[in-house]
Structure 1
Amino acid sequence: MGKLTTHVLDTAHGCPGAGIRIELYALGGEARRALKTVVTNHDGRCDAPLLEGEAFTNGEYELVFHAGDYFARAGVALPEPRFVDRVVLRFGIADCAAHYHVPLLVSPWAYSTYRGS
């Protein structure tokens, strides 16, 4: 059975992104429906899949990572406005029987993502 997972790596400090707020939305046309809000654990991961079972369906989704707040709490000197603040990743689920892992690698100045396993 398929599922959606994520994790965050702080590439500026070389450690997991612990304590980062993540919001998950389902997208449909112009509509955006909130599904879940979680906070990453000490390993930069969520304690459970973001979606699985009957809740995991084909469609378009959005993850919003509150990275700027994380770096501010870590004592990083950030400009105002922050260069990287909320990282918004929009992606599609085409096969609800597969595992979609959407990690975030982030610093105060850059981020990247990929479909992991």
Structure 2
Amino acid sequence: MGKLTTHVLDTANGRPGAGIKIELFALAGDTRRALKTTTTNADGRCNEPLLEGGALVAGEYELVFHAGDYFAAAGAPLPQPRFVDRVVLRFGVADAAAHYHVPLLVSPWSYSTYRGN
């Protein structure tokens, strides 16, 4: 059974990104459809998969991580406007039966991602 999961690591402070708002959208051409909004737990993970089973279909998706709000709430000294604010990751799911894990490693100055498992 396929599923989509994520987690966030705060690389500036060496800890999980707890309490980060994440939005998930399905993309179809110019259409962007909201699927889910959630918040990371104390481990920087979501309590359940973002999508699983029949809800995960082949196609294009977008994750929006509200990292700037997280760093501001943590008291990080941030410029205005923030250098890293909302991190938008667009990615494709080719095999809806597979596990797509899309982690975010983030600081106030940079971010990276990869397909994990």
The 5-angstrom pairing of residues 26-41 of structure 1 reads 26-41=26-41
What's the % identity of the aligned pairs?
A: 79
Cα distance in 2, alignment partners of residues 102 and 96 from structure 1: 14
Q: TM-score, normalised by structure 2?
A: 1.00
Unaligned runs of 5+ in 2: none
Q: TM-score, normalised by structure 1?
A: 1.00
Q: How far is the alpha carbon of 1:114 from its aligned partner?
A: 0.1
Amino acid at match of 1:100: Y
Cα distance in 1, alignment partners of residues 38 and 7 from structure 2: 11
Runs of 4+ that moved beyond 3 A: none
Cα distance in 2, alignment partners of residues 106 and 76 from structure 1: 13
RMSD over equivalenced CA pairs, Å: 0.3
Cα distance in 2, alignment partners of residues 36 and 74 from structure 1: 25
Deviations 1:2-51 (A, max 9, x none): 10000000000000000000000000000000000000000000000000
Amino acid at match of 2:82: R
Structure 2 counterpart of 1:9: 9
Q: How far is the alpha carbon of 1:53 from its aligned partner?
A: 1.1
Cα distance in 2, alignment partners of residues 64 and 56 from structure 1: 17
Amino acid at match of 1:18: A
The 5-angstrom pairing of residues 1-117 of structure 1 reads 1-117=1-117
Deviations 1:85-113 (A, max 9, x none): 00000000000110000000000000000
Amino acid at match of 2:15: C
Q: How many positions carry a matched residue from both structures? A: 117
